[in-house]
Chain A
């Protein structure tokens, strides 16, 4: 039984899929636009989009003013879960780096 974090991490282990997430951070896009932006064929891109969809990282839905236009957008909840995890890793290194800074600058003054 995979946890949702496992699926998130597995989906993001691929550089193309990370590129998709980066693109969608800015605004929702059609599948065709995403494929073009990342210089990939549409069938290949649709496989990546399926992995991201199953991991719950993106969803495909209509635009408010045009329900027929299908666009991909980020699923914020899943992104937030991963960010929460990375934030803990960053908290650890942040504490270490502040100790390093203090040590490095103290020895310079003495």
Chain B
């Protein structure tokens, strides 16, 4: 079966700055693909080119067999888009918001009502359909925001960091909803800088940094790719300048980064080398806490880019 989304060699520059540099990947029906990277890595620019919101400098995007350009109209029917910000009309009711977009996607009459009712049910807003969106809690607005993207039954749903600024409870509700989407045969492109979200939701993950896709695969493949490396986190205080650089000089340390009293180190066999690491870190620094993590996507990112995801 041919993939729902095929993008190849995407390039986009803003002036001298390369925002996206040769990104390409595919997503099959029923697959959830995560684009994982820190802020400014090029995730939103990539998704904007896939949607036809930005002109591509180079590359192709094909959705459901149709090329997508800024000028495409009909081909965009296969796309569902959930932007990073809350893209709803606060002075319209939930029903009016959904009905407006349903009609914009060409639905008429009873089809509009049926689609709106289905999405209100799906997002848990069935009893709030007649309320204005500006009366909703942040989580409810987020759910309505996602619901609009699902309304017309797209082949590909793109969610651009949908949980940014969301409280933990609403975040879980959103993740549960997205988790269920893949099982309905929908291809999902999910961008995030939260490693846990990518690990929980995504069948495959593309790691993006500085506009480049530096690795791609299943969680298992990506972790296997860096060997059995562990991630060690130190909570530190005192003189921390140059600490990460000093640790990188230790044999076997593959990555080290520090920010705001937090030091992260990636290396093989961390448990056995912990005393050596603590001694190195303690030199002029107060160690307030240490944790050793099993290999995860955070370690993969640190190993591949030398940076932490939140940098």
A joins B in a complex: no
Seen from chain A, the residues whose Cβ lies within 8 Å of a Cβ on chain B are none
Seen from chain B, the residues whose Cβ lies within 8 Å of a Cβ on chain A are none
